[in-house]
Chain A
């Protein structure tokens, strides 16, 4: 196995005192942003990114990826103890995690969550170890039209798989593309979409957008809801952890199935949130005894947690091997790679194997560090959440403003983050999805370059996207995904007509 050898070399690159320290720092900060309202994984990584500009890429990616793992774990902690999902992807964990904790089995609920999360993440990393080299080799055959087709496929799948209205997804995504193209055009060097505003010449940073959309926007929502923490006192008892560990093998089937769901949803851009919901749903539907679901069934914790984390890790495979991130956080990290001067995609495997395999090795270690740290620090974070929002809220705001400024040392970014915050608040309330916007902002330039180079190759003929089997297949799958909402809609209408059911009344109340 060639990959195993490379992995061992990767371990060689990262096994140093400094790197382990960075891992612990990353995980700790990650849990913190995962626990705090208004700071999620994409946001935390964005805030930390400017601080890594002067680091070497391996240390930087260790810090950022470990922050990602930490944030995933932190999100589950608040779901279980406070019934407040720290991350959208841990919403499904609240369904059974909180009830179980309320029954006085908080330690059991937390251990179940953390261990299955760790196992899920491990499954994702093993998959990356085994498949990444192969995917990257395959992708080396890609040229510009194929790349554009891959981007097209990724974005089409958002439109088809999103829970929101396809047109809202479209608008959100295209706004991202438009923002990405503001400023200097990378090919011709011309300025565009700056409307003679000097602040726009350097472009709109996706980091500022993420901080505003996810950070300020989330805080505004939290303020509106009037956050009250109704927490459960958690004392982690070692004996209970041990007993839960012995209990784990009983859920092997749920864990295995959730891993597969998570890996699939992570590689495709559906992401961790969809994965955890789907896994919970499947576990519930297939359970013989459904009565305990929603009241603290252990499987109701194991299933979403495993899927959430295996999706979260798997999202890094397409980012590394293809340059197409599978989640908002992966998109931010990919933006980081480009800032550090690395080109995500298949060439990264040949140009910087030390970086790629160092990162993969750090995922193994980082997740183990994360499981241990998160179990050890639960009481600490639970007490942080007891600080009133009146203090925590403004402090988070100050962190976000500082982070926005540090992205480009620009005063205008402090105002921009505010604008994005308002946009995030309104979009969230009106069910516009935010992840496609961020992904489009990060990928915008690359997708456009791929498109324009394809056009150059073909002298402006769109037929280049049907010129060989590979690109045709990719485009056809993309088109099928893009049109699928329309097809389902038409099917729904025709079925209603055939069965003679009247059209639902226009006032929005669903037809019985």
Chain B
């Protein structure tokens, strides 16, 4: 399709995709509400009564947005994000996913250290010791603020267990 121009993702495609996505979400909500009893019970409206109509409204609004996307944005050549910028965004986003994955396994302190050190060293070309020092510094700062200051624990993993920190 000519909608996807060479230098980026078209706004129309994105508008339509989001409208379809929210529409699907609306249908899922309505369906889930029927499962949870969208009718009338002894205690008044059932658990799914209110969300059912919410789901319908989402679907209705999404349909309107889809129509609007066709009327307003098709063939305008508007760009949602061009390829060069999209790479920058991905460069920011992918480390985030890695951060979440590492933290899930190793805990947030180790995750934070590795993430900050990693982005600084590999993306921003800082010296390895500068990145590592910043990462460890931030993690230690978190520890002091959260565990000691506010007494709100963060997720810890096997590394902390190895050193006996709980």
Contact = CB atoms under 8 A, between A and B. Distances in A.
A508 B73 contact: yes
Given A178-B55, A192-B47, A451-B50, A394 B152 contact: no
B69 to A, nearest CB: 9
A405 B155 contact: yes
Interface range, B side = 35 or more
Given A181-B50, A402-B108, A394 B120 contact: yes
A409 B153 contact: yes
A185 B153 CA distance: 29
B39 to A, nearest CB: 10
A493 interface: no
Most interface-central of B14, B29, B75, B81 (chain A CB within 10 A): B29
Given A51-B150, A409-B153, A174 B96 contact: no
Nearest to B56: A174
A390 B119 contact: yes
B72 A508 contact: yes
B3 to A, nearest CB: 13
B89 A224 contact: yes
Contact of A190 (B36, B62, B151): B36
B37 A190 contact: yes
B152 A175 contact: no
Contact of A223 (B47, B50, B88): B88
A185 to B, nearest CB: 4
A167 B68 contact: yes
Nearest to A411: B104
Contacts of B68: 165, 167
Nearest to A395: B138
A432 B71 CA distance: 17
B128 interface: no
Given A175-B22, A460-B45, A181 B51 contact: yes
Nearest to B46: A188
A381 B37 CA distance: 54
Contact of B134 (A174, A223, A391): A391
Contacts of B15: 430
Interface string A182-205: 000101101111110000000000
A391 B138 CA distance: 11
B146 A223 contact: no
Interface of A: 50-51, 53-54, 165, 167-168, 170-171, 174-175, 177-178, 181, 185, 187-188, 190-195, 216, 219-220, 223-224, 226, 388, 390-391, 393-395, 397-398, 401-402, 405-406, 409, 411, 414-415, 418, 421-422, 425-427, 429-430, 432, 448, 451-453, 455-456, 460, 506-508
8 closest pairs, A vs B, by CB? A192-B36, A390-B124, A223-B92, A185-B47, A171-B61, A456-B44, A170-B61, A167-B64
Interface of B: 11, 14-15, 18, 22, 25-26, 28-29, 32-33, 35-37, 40-41, 43-51, 54-55, 57-58, 60-62, 64-65, 68, 71-73, 75-76, 78, 80-81, 85-86, 88-89, 91-93, 95-97, 99-100, 103-104, 108, 111-112, 115-116, 119-120, 123-124, 126, 134, 138, 142, 146, 150-155
